[in-house]
Homo-oligomer: A and B are copies of this chain.
Amino acid sequence: MIPKPTNSWIEIRDAIHANILNKTYAAGDKLPRDQDLAQMLGCARSTVQRAMQDLSDRGLVERRRKGGTRIPQDPVTRATLEIPIIRKEVEQKGAVHGYQLINAEMLETPRNIMAGFGLPAPITALRVQALHLADQQPYLLEDRWINIQTVPGVTQIDFARENANEWLLRHKPYDKCDMRFYAIKAGKAEADLLAANLGDALFVIDRTTWINQNPITTVKTIAAPGYQLKTGS
């Protein structure tokens, strides 16, 4: 008995992918139309469509109506980062998560925060600074501004007990998120809090979230020395 070709769209995708890898289809080339590929590979057009959609999502092919499918001239490396809540990240390393509130107060937003939020004038916002620990050791420093207009209930929360990272993600879903990654030199404040040396190179993630165009929060997370962010692909 024939073991049934089980033409999953993944096999079709991999078959086309293999032809890209082995240069049957090289940069700039135009691929056959879906219908023809379907016939060549012995499957339905909808299966090729699904395979192509995936390849297109990964940036391996470019598709245009009427224009057909082509291999892009300049390949782009696409990486997906998964950033869990900090407690989970610590626990996944097999460590015990700890949390300390450093400061929480209402303040006028400085210019750089206004810029991140896309606001023309300063507003009063809740600034929360806190330290995350892994096995009692400093792990991440969190410097956060929360828009109290978008998150009204937030002023009632005791961030000495609740961790702002987790509280916001659980209670205030977002529909847009901007992130940026860079390196800074540890100043006195960061060095003290993170048990680092003055001048150490620290990895920083800036993140701003919105809901319906309204800024929710912007946070600067400074990692302790040695931190590495890895892709999961």
Contacts and interface: CB of A to CB of B under 8 A. Distances in A.
B82 A76 contact: yes
Interface string A171-185: 001011111111111
Contacts of A170: 27, 75
Interface string A121-148: 0000000000000000000000000000
B183 A203 contact: yes
B80 A80 contact: yes
Interface residues of A, number: 47
| Residue among A59, A80, A175, A185 facing the most chain B CB atoms (10 A cut-off) | A185
A20 B185 CA distance: 40
Interface in A8-61: 17, 20-21, 27, 59
A6 interface: no
A231 B180 contact: yes
Contacts of A228: 180-182
A202 to B, nearest CB: 6
Nearest to A204: B183
